Amino acid sequence: MQVSRALVLLVSAGFSAAVSAKTAVAPDGLLEQAYARAWKGADSVQYVPLRRGEREALEKLFVRLLQGERTAQIDTALRALGWAMRTQADGAVTWTVVAEADTRREGRGLFAFSSHGRHAIQAPHVPTDALTGQILLGYGRDALPRALAWNTVPRRTADMARLDDTPLVAFSRAFAQVHPQEKILQLHGFDVANRRSGAGATSSAIVSAGHRRPSPALVSAVTCMQKRIDQRARLYGNDVHELGGTQNSVARTLLASGHAGFIHVELDMPLRRSLVDDAARRRVLLECLGGRS
């Protein structure tokens, strides 16, 4: 889709084109526009926890979106909860974005649902984990994942990887329900200079399931990364014993529900930079972690 056409559609849908300096991206399409708008002035946004019953209500609506529904009824129900839904076709893929309404900025996140693809990818620590948000936008342009999720307040304001009963938890539970055989990948960034172990300091990636007992499938995923991306990819619980995401709220919730597809991925800065720029490498990472080697 040409940029000019995308902008006309988005302006008519009520999105602004303002871009935060911390998360600057070109306003090319629906995902980029929604991401830029969600981060405009985010430093002044205070996180407001979900009210009683809102997480369950939102989860049910996310289930319906993941099942392919795009109805006025869903739009009305989302608006009643303070959200706005926008849908736009881009080639063979149609993206639906669920963002907070302009009049209700409460730092609750940004979510996108595709008509095609596999797996869900999350970036819960934008902009602290630099470039993770842009990596997800790249995956959106690649039309590879089924769903994407970003935080929309800084980690110091509200840590979406630690808080319970958040929209991110609702999104994750809904995805696990509709696509129980697929993966939920949560991307993070780390600084090798701050690691407390030699193994951590010499890693390009640290992969875990949010606990200390990696499955054979996760062992295979990391082996795939070592062969196809970087031999310094490491498996938490076997190769390295830090940055395992063991306190992660999404991991805890999914493990409690019996879903074994959560993968916590820590990436060093060079690998993050390469994933922003290299669509082929993004595809390989998703193939490895998704179970194709």
CATH architecture classification, 49-290: 3-Layer(aba) Sandwich (3.40)
Look at residue 89 and tell me whether its pLDDT is greater than 50. Answer: yes
Least confident of 13-22, 85-94, 170-179: 13-22
Q: Is 111 helix (H, G, I), strand (E, B) or coil?
A: strand
Look at residue 152 and tell me whether its pLDDT is greater than 70. Answer: yes
* Residue 223: CB atoms within 10 Å: 14
Across residues 104-112, what is the average pLDDT? Answer: 96
Using pLDDT thresholds of 50, 70 and 90, give the confidence band for residue 188.
Answer: very high
Residue-level pLDDT at 14: 36
What whole-number distance in Å separates Cα of residue 102 and Cα of residue 105?
Answer: 7
Using pLDDT thresholds of 50, 70 and 90, give the confidence band for residue 19.
Answer: very low
* Residue 178: CB atoms within 10 Å: 18
Higher pLDDT pick, 66 / 9: 66
Look at residue 154 and tell me whether its pLDDT is greater than 50. Answer: yes
Domain boundaries, the chain: 49-290
Residue-level pLDDT at 91: 80
Residue-level pLDDT at 234: 97
Mean pLDDT score of the chain, rounded to an integer? 90
Residues with Cβ within 8 Å of residue 185, at least 6 apart in sequence? 119, 120, 121, 122, 263, 265, 286, 289
Beta-strand relationship, 184-189 and 262-267: parallel
What whole-number distance in Å separates Cα of residue 149 and Cα of residue 58?
Answer: 14
